[in-house]
Structure 1
Amino acid sequence: MKPLFPLFPRVARRGAILPALLALAACAAQPTHLAQAPTAPPAPHLVTVGIAAFNDFHGQLEPPHQSVLVPDGHGGTAQVPAGGAAWLASAVDAVRGHYPNHLTLSAGDMISASQVASSLYLDEPSIGVMNRIGVDFNAVGNHEFDRGRDELLRMQNGGCAQFTAHKPCQLEPFPGASFRYLAASTVDKDGHTLFPATGLKTFGTGPDKVTVGVIGLTTRTTPTLVSPGGIAGLTFEDEAATINAAVPALKAQGADAIVVLIHEGGKQQGAPDPQGCDGMSGAILDIIKRLDPGVDLIISGHTHASYICQFPAAGSAHPLLLTSAGLYGEMVTDIALQIDPATHKVLSAQAHNVIVQSDPYQSSTRLIPHDDRFPIFTPRPDVASYVQRYVDAAKVYSSRPVGRLSGPALRGDNPALPIGGPLGNLIADSQLAATRGAGAQLALMNRFGIRTDLVPAADGTVTFGDIYRVQPFSNVLITETLTGAQLKAVLEQGLDEQGPNQGLAASANVRFTADLTRPVGSRVTRLLVDGRPVTADAKYRVTVNNFLAQGGDTFTFLADKPDAVVGMTDLDALQAWIGAVPVRQVPMEERINVIAH
């Protein structure tokens, strides 16, 4: 089979032949003691270990109907249809097929924020897919904690104990993950990591024996990204310090190569290029600056970006390699490490992002066809059959109409401040309507909790599956009392540079101005509720989801309110709001005025 990318040239043993010896062999003179001519040292005998890596799968069992953007060769970009679990399985098989010695690794967020066929079944089918693919190790990501630590432990260990509103094991017993979760930086109050910090895999025997050590961990910002109640008692330690502490321990256990699986990353600038590293930025760069030079490879994630980067590494025989394969199983990174078993060092590392090209699909504007410049994968039959069982079972829920919309409700893409767009407005309106009985006067929704656009069918029909993809977290609504000063402080927290800024989407009776040119803490310059200015001492009943009510996304001023009332799920609220009228109009007005310059 032709390799998916050019492999390293095979390195053979070499010696030197001395022309002088040939002349001596023909000479009849008495033997003469000659000085030994210098010879070149033999080239090392290298062992290649291949790695198939991906990240941020997010339970995308079926093709997500998204594209990988690539250079079109003419200064623009082209779209390549990609993704789907059965196609990913075939792509991973193809990568591993080039290497007798191989590992399959995932850099977190394998589950949660998933498609309905996985999420309705607590992502058990996503774990089942990964068992069939043959993953070796998966680093925990922030989304692994969405349903709390006990449910995450069930993902590893299996069983049918119920820790969520959804019933587990609905279609079959759940055996748990056959691969190992790694959580080097996630420490329980007893001082132990939630899962093992590291793993080892050995290949070959005798002089060809090599061992790869793997460190797995998530971003230290995880507590700001998940509901605090689900991670009570856990701390998330500094990434670089955690990695540096693990390197010597792995070396002492015989590791010849050190691979880091980290759910943190960066993004490149400029035109999309899955093989590029143009103008990289992001939290991963600070981590790299502080790393032990013994690290050979970093497989990253979290930012949903793709890149292949090499950074100078002091004291190493090769640059430090950094990779990421985007999201949703749309790519798999083909990595080759060449290891010298005699010196126990990696001498070179190369990588290439392989696009998991799947079936063409119809976008909102046109058909996205195959791109013949890239391999076209066929779905692996066993994985396709397994996925189809869950897709069929979910159809009774996902295909049910819940109402009609006047048009697409999009999340918006304000370059100055993520807000939520028309869809954020729609969700906030639905949550206010659903909690009026609890005294709610306004509702606020976090932009980062909206997973995708809500696009109805041609006749405006919206299905349960459509809204589930928008809000797959099973959050419940919380109505609590804030003073006007606290309400303003909450909005300021979205603009305080602690993590990515976001303007909370607001219900239709709220207007405020976010002036990003002003100092942190004084950026909300105008705040109205029901057309009247908010006063510091007045009290307001505010509805948010339970993620925000527990201080998620750094909105700590919303946490621990004693008069909080628990309501219905956010999904039930949105479903009821859309279905309450023959056609629900998508609110297009700007409720937040953003001043960026």
Structure 2
Amino acid sequence: MAFTGRDKKWLSGPRAVGLVAAGAAVVLGLATGGTVTQAAPARPKPTHTQIQLLAINDFHGNLAPNPATSSSGNVNGTPAGGAEYLATQLDLLRRSARAQGQETATVAAGDLIGASPLLSAAFHDEPTIEAMNEMGLDATSVGNHEFDEGYKELLRMQKGGCLNDGDGQNNQNSCPDHKFEGADFKYLSANVFYENTGKTLFAPYTVKKFRDGQKVAFIGMTLENTPNIVTKSGVQGLAFKDEVETANALVPKLKKQGIEAIVVLIHEGGLPSDPKAFNSCPGISGPITDIAKNLDPAIDAVVSGHTHQSYNCSINDPAGKPRLVTSASSFGKIVTEIRLSIDNATHDVDRLNTMANNHIVTQDVPKDPRLTKLITKYQTLVAPIESKVIGHITTPSVVKTPDDSQESPLGNLIADAQLADPSTVTNGKTPVVAFMNPGGIRADLASTGGAVTFGAAFTVQPFNNYLVSMDMTGTQIRALLEQQFSGLNQASNKVLQVAGITYTYNPAGTPGAKVVADSIKIAGQPLVDATTYRIVTNNFLSDGGDGFPAFTTATDKFFGGLDIDAFANYLTAHDPYTPGPTDRISIS
């Protein structure tokens, strides 16, 4: 729990004095034997109004819970997430605030949709928008993944309507059984403008009114770098401007309206030095730190996202005063609760008594029946897409059983698919090496008479991991390869499945020196320690999972699409697929 000051209770002082005075009058009446008539003391007007903000980010259409064994489905080992549980947890938090006389606003920091699992993606993320409506979301900033299908499609997410997409072609089906009504909540895009008119794509901010005449403005922005990490055609005609300059320019406009309490919702984030410290702020770094340090002091709190991290920070504003900066992980696994304390005299946030707390969305509560109904309906509707044939293989199956070097035919196929996936290309940098953890390959790729369905592919990779591209030096890659046989993996080796790289190792060698130094080649050329290579892996490994801390030292990380989508697209593009030899890793 992060505080920007002491957590004191309001309505002390004058109220306490009034109660003492009333008690004295009663005692006096008993002592004299007379009757004393005294009007009850007037209840003093509260000096502050307490407002609860509930915030999420980077939901990415994760309606159904992810497997708890996946990094997408737990927080520090605790099963977490799932729309049914998220809705219940939000309601429980609101009830708690309501019992204390507090009102609530529910907000988000972007990427609610895009790079979503099949259950939502198959319907152009219409199910997720409907789920957010049911959960009572008030407003969200846009994120880069909101533009995955282009800004015109994002406008449809707000306004509603149906796409003529051929009823299931390309594994998608808009409005499968009813008209899509659009979002009840407001998308905000203060720093996204039409180039030809200078107007914002969506409203730059929204103002929510509370009791006692209090108003809170929410400014919504995405990262300025969005055009470099989305499909160019999807944002053609739009301009993305500096986050700090945009927000600071809005402050005087809001103040002219008599609004003093201002919260920024921004799809840009930071990286704590300890990702497991979900409710604190160890060694925070990344773009959000500079943004927070430069946002106008009149802005009272910053709700962030994009990096899929969870943190609860206090970062000084330009005036040197602490200001809350929060993020709620991803996939609905965390909810941030902020208690804004607003001074009734100034109508501004009293930061000394404003606090935040990140709550894990545990699965030990009842499922929300509204969300269960919604999910069940779409699970039925997705069945035809799930059974759709996406390609063929020339063998009965592609097996995950490894050879003596621990390389497998299916591992090679998945690594090839990840290397070929265009969603991880950013700023002109294309990965040249792919690494896949063998434990993430859950079954052989089966076929029916050679035909492979989308459901069969999903059975192989059911974790809904995201692909992450990053920069690693030759030295870091060399250390990574040694970690397959040392540290946490010394007792039971974990040999990564690879594409774009070949090498030889000695099983009998000394841990830390098993890989034959001059055998490592990338694209057929010897590895150079000082050279920086672009690599791709999944978010589980990116976070150092399975005993591979070398991934955590990589730089310039970028989240692409889902691994299952890369896998399915590759099978379609290479139809029919014939497994190749396992000759990328050898032993000496």
Q: TM-score higher than 0.5 here?
A: yes
Q: Does 1:11 align with 2:11?
A: yes
CA contact (8 A) 2:313 2:324 kept: yes
Aligned residues, how many? 446
Alignment correspondent of 1:395:
383
Q: Does 1:175 align with 2:172?
A: no
Alignment correspondent of 2:346:
343
CA contact (8 A) 2:61 2:128 kept: yes
Alignment correspondent of 2:456:
463
How much has 1:229 moved relative to structure 2? 0.9
**Dislocated runs of 4+, deviation >6 Å:** 15-19, 400-403, 428-432, 447-454, 467-473, 493-496, 583-587
Higher helix share goes to which structure? 2
Q: Structure 1 residues 185, 320: CA separation in 2 closer, same or farther (over 3 Å shift)?
A: same
How much has 1:270 moved relative to structure 2? 2.9
Q: Does 1:217 align with 2:221?
A: yes
Q: Which runs of 5+ in 1 are unaligned?
A: 1-5, 27-41, 70-76, 359-375, 410-420, 433-443, 474-490, 497-503, 526-551, 555-567, 591-597
How much has 1:427 moved relative to structure 2? 1.1
How much has 1:343 moved relative to structure 2? 1.1
Q: Structure 1 residues 139, 306: CA separation in 2 closer, same or farther (over 3 Å shift)?
A: same
CA contact (8 A) 1:408 1:453 kept: no
Q: Does 1:193 align with 2:183?
A: no
Distance, in Å, in 2 between the alignment partners of 1:300 and 1:212 is: 17
How much has 1:288 moved relative to structure 2? 1.2
CA contact (8 A) 1:296 1:346 kept: yes
Distance, in Å, in 1 between the alignment partners of 2:430 and 2:419 is: 10
Q: Which amino acid aligns with 1:406?
A: V
Distance, in Å, in 1 between the alignment partners of 2:57 and 2:434 is: 20
Aligned pairs (5 A) from 1:490-501: none
Identity among equivalent positions (%) equals 34
Distance, in Å, in 1 between the alignment partners of 2:152 and 2:567 is: 23
Alignment correspondent of 1:571:
568
Distance, in Å, in 1 between the alignment partners of 2:87 and 2:533 is: 49
Aligned pairs (5 A) from 1:254-269: 254-269=258-273
How much has 1:65 moved relative to structure 2? 1.6
The TM-score normalised by the length of structure 1 is 0.65
Q: Which amino acid aligns with 1:88?
A: L
Q: Which amino acid aligns with 1:324?
A: S
Aligned pairs (5 A) from 1:144-155: 144-155=146-157
Distance, in Å, in 2 between the alignment partners of 1:244 and 1:357 is: 37
The TM-score normalised by the length of structure 2 is 0.66
Q: Indicate the SS of the match to 1:95.
A: helix
CA contact (8 A) 1:49 1:101 kept: yes
Q: Does 1:383 align with 2:371?
A: yes
Q: Structure 1 residues 308, 148: CA separation in 2 closer, same or farther (over 3 Å shift)?
A: same
Q: Does 1:156 align with 2:158?
A: yes
Q: Structure 1 residues 575, 384: CA separation in 2 closer, same or farther (over 3 Å shift)?
A: same
How much has 1:354 moved relative to structure 2? 0.9
Q: Which runs of 5+ in 2 are unaligned?
A: 1-5, 29-43, 403-410, 423-428, 447-454, 474-497, 503-521, 535-556, 560-564
Q: Indicate the SS of the match to 2:524.
A: strand
Q: Indicate the SS of the match to 2:96.
A: coil
Q: Structure 1 residues 246, 184: CA separation in 2 closer, same or farther (over 3 Å shift)?
A: same
Q: Which amino acid aligns with 2:386?
A: S
Q: Indicate the SS of the match to 2:202.
A: coil
Question: Match for 1:85 among 65, 83, 86?
Answer: 83
Question: Match for 1:320 among 323, 343, 356?
Answer: 323
Question: Match for 2:524 among 511, 518, 523?
Answer: 511
Q: Structure 1 residues 406, 449: CA separation in 2 closer, same or farther (over 3 Å shift)?
A: closer
Q: Does 1:406 align with 2:399?
A: yes
Alignment correspondent of 1:353:
358
How much has 1:472 moved relative to structure 2? 11
Q: Indicate the SS of the match to 1:334.
A: strand
1:417-439 CA-partner distances (Å, limit 9, x unpaired):
xxxx956632168889xxxxxxx
Q: Which amino acid aligns with 2:400?
A: G
Distance, in Å, in 2 between the alignment partners of 1:448 and 1:110 is: 30
Q: Which amino acid aligns with 2:323?
A: L
Q: Which amino acid aligns with 1:195?
A: F
Q: Which amino acid aligns with 2:12?
A: A
RMSD: 4.3
Distance, in Å, in 1 between the alignment partners of 2:529 and 2:45 is: 59
Distance, in Å, in 2 between the alignment partners of 1:249 and 1:87 is: 39
Question: Match for 1:305 among 286, 305, 309?
Answer: 309
Distance, in Å, in 1 between the alignment partners of 2:573 and 2:314 is: 51
CA contact (8 A) 2:292 2:325 kept: no
